[in-house]
Amino acid sequence: MLIVKNGYVTDPATGMAGEKDILIEDGKIRTIAEAGTAETSAEGCDVIDAAGLYVAPGLVDCHVHFRDPGFTYKEDIDTGAAAAAAGGFTTVVMMGNTDPHPDSEATVKDMLDRGAKTGIKVLVCGNVTKGMAGKELTDMESLINAGAVLFTDDGKPITDAGLMEKACVEAARLNKVISLHEEDPAYITDNGINAGEVAEKLGITGSPRDAEISMVKRDIEIAERTGASIVVQHISAAESVELIREARKRGVKVHAEATPHHFTLTQEAVLKYGSLAKMNPPLRLESDRKAIIEGLKDGTIEMIATDHAPHSREEKAGDIKAAPSGITGLETSLLLGLRELVNPGYMTLEELIYRMTKGPAMVYGLDAGSIKEGADADLVIFDPKGEWDFVSSRSKSSNTPFLGARLPGRIYGTICRGNIVYDNGLKKN
């Protein structure tokens, strides 16, 4: 038995807000009571005193790369889960650019079995196409039966419009979401850096915004025809935000995610941080960053996802044109949300928490993102007014421009299914 007492509990999904005691038994929330009223003298009862701290639902990230199987020198399921727990996440969904890919029941089950041993909820996508080759659809129904919670070829766009339409028809039949990496390679010479002034200074062509915009427009039209539910991953262009806003007004089932790096940084970061600020799609202009923030604010963008993408130091240290795209982000996501969205007044803390909990859970139909009696005891305990120095990472990789930064907010602990999976100074009696 575990009691989290005296914390300020905020659950935007239910509207609950106030100082509460949470009694946890057998991994579930048994009782939520007014602060100071829970009995704490029972034998074998552990107590966490969360006075002065916020207690929120465990965070949900439906877009992480744990590189396992196949590329475990960058990350593996255990280290990725440890980084997630340190960032307050209790539920994550692994992407499918692994080797082998999760395009078979056996691989999906293997990834899930190993994720179940980490202490947090590590879920798995299924690929849209076999081998992520964009040629032939997977057996989506069999992958769902194996445990896949969504479909994506993340890292590769589905360039064949006819195949994309067939995928949408099948996903709609199965009531599952397709999550899309929207960058048409026909537009791109050098990916990872926005085509513009910064790319020109570096002597490369870069990735133009039309690579994203064209595919977002195409796939909204396909979703509208088929009735499928799609997600535009890691949105980067203001025009894409507006296309989604207008489509949602028409009732199209199109959703979007924003990454912390896209609402925090612009293309100029590449000049300061080099390949640590190289990612797909690239960082763009200040006007794009502001459009993403406005999309998060008005609900056009329903969720924040890290696109946690670890790479080795050696890979990132080479020539910027050759270096792989992607940055890590699980440990800094909530804190960057505080710094860039809440503290400047763009969003309330409750709105930020919603975008990181119930928002993604609702889009993908996951049983997560809320604090209620009878539910799994998945919680993050944090101080939004504190500070934290990001000096080392639990990930195998540290390819992030935020390493070494002092960030607002401090995560004190993460609880998943009633177990403390991250302890950064919790007060325990």
How far is the C-alpha of 96 from the C-alpha of 28, rounded, in Å?
A: 31
Tell me if 411 sits within 8 A of 422, measured CB to CB: yes
Phi, psi of 28 (to 5 degrees): -115, 155
For the residues of 375-399, what is the DSSP string, one character each? Answer: SB--EEEEEEEEEEE----SSS---
Out of 11, 21, 68, 307, which one is annotated catalytic? 307
Catalytic site includes residue 367: no
Q: Can you list the pairs that 262-265 forms with residues at least 24 positions away whose Cβ atoms lie under 8 Å? A: 262/234, 262/235, 262/236, 262/288, 262/289, 262/292, 263/289, 263/292, 263/293, 263/296, 263/336, 263/340, 263/341, 264/289, 264/336, 264/339, 264/340, 265/289, 265/401
For residue 124, count other CB atoms closer than 10 A to its CB.
27
At residue 20, the 3 state secondary structure works out as strand
Q: What is the largest CA-CA distance in the chain?
A: 68
How far is the C-alpha of 38 from the C-alpha of 36, rounded, in Å?
A: 6
Q: What amino acid is encoded at 201 in this protein?
A: K
Two tokens, residue 201 = 């200074």
Half-sphere exposure of 398 (CA within 13 A, CB side): 9
Tell me if 74 sits within 8 A of 99, measured CB to CB: no
Tell me if 361 sits within 8 A of 237, measured CB to CB: no
Residue with tokens 């050759």, as numbered in its chain: 322
For the chain, the C-alpha Rg in angstroms (whole number) is 21
Two tokens, residue 312 = 């080795």
Tell me if 169 sits within 8 A of 226, measured CB to CB: yes
Instruction: Give the chain's length.
Output: 429
Buried b (16+ CB within 10 A) or exposed e, 80-101: bbbbbbbbbbbbbbbbbbbeeb
Strand partners, 415: 379, 420
Active site residues: 307
